[in-house]
Amino acid sequence: MTSSAPEGLVLRDGPALPPLSHFRLAAFDMDSTLISIECIDEIAALAGKGDEVAAITEAAMRGEITDFKDSLRRRLALLAGVPASVLDRVLAERLTFNPGARELCAAFKAAGMKLVLVSGGFTFFTRYVAAELGMDFVRSNELEIADGALTGRVVMQDWGDICDGEQKRLMLLACCAEVGCRPDQAIAVGDGANDLPMMGAAGLSVAYHAKPKVREQARVAINEGGLDRLLSLLRP
């Protein structure tokens, strides 16, 4: 059962939501959640591979391709040889923040919460987004670049090579431990199937303009309007 708050804002039936002061940490997906684009699709579009890559992205987001690592590797392989300068163009020409992203993050920071950016996207973009929004922790994939071009692979990092749904969940739990809070004091915000593991681990799950499978499982679904609409459901 669900109950609709104002139009386009859905709160699933359950215990009363805790006040904002209960929460100590918020973890966000990036692509199509904090920002309006899927960065890999925009890279592909500028490289003339848009349709091929977008088709795999959509299938993965809908949960039809269940192995996110496999879907990412397949998409990246199509981008081998693309000039790295395309990344600068995507950042300058295509990347915009979703409505309410800055406002929601600022409100959470003002409430004393720590912010986590955990993305199946790329460090080239998460560095910018994290700096703009004041993120405290970041985990994302590092594109491998050689001779000024993408190789079609990612670089191994100390936690692994690809930030998939399980890595998102582990990152949320690790950040809770670092901050000294329980997982039920965390909020997780996302839009795609690979966000469900971290949303399931958090005390409050929020779907933003999300795929049907994600909307159905989240406690809160923002289907219209900006991210900051969440604040209307959380008393101080």
Residue with tokens 């399931």: 200
Give the predicted TM-score (pTM) of the model. 0.95
| DSSP-based three-state secondary structure for 93 | helix
Average pLDDT over every residue of 120-142: 98
- Interval 186-232: pLDDT, tens: 999 999 999 999 999 999 999 999 999 999 999 999 999 999 999 99
What is each CA distance from 67 to 59, 77, 160, 166, in whole angstroms? 11, 16, 16, 11
Catalytic residue check, 191: no
Catalytic residue check, 161: no
Residue 4 has pLDDT above 80, yes or no: no
What is the C-alpha to C-alpha distance for residues 66 and 44, in angstroms, rounded to an integer?
22
- Catalytic member of 13, 29, 70, 228: 29
Paired with 137 in beta bridges are: 116
- The pLDDT confidence band at residue 1, using thresholds 50, 70 and 90, is very low
Burial class (CB in 10 A: 0-12, 13-18, 19+), 84: middle
DSSP 5: -
Sequence letter at residue 9: L
CB-CB contact of 182 with 176 (8 Å): yes
What is the C-alpha to C-alpha distance for residues 208 and 27, in angstroms, rounded to an integer?
13
Q: Is the dihedral of CA 70, 117, 206, 199 positive or negative?
A: positive
- The pLDDT confidence band at residue 2, using thresholds 50, 70 and 90, is low
- Catalytic member of 31, 41, 191, 195: 31
What is each CA distance from 129 to 35, 192, 209, 210, 214, in whole angstroms? 8, 19, 19, 20, 23
Average pLDDT over every residue of 101-127: 98
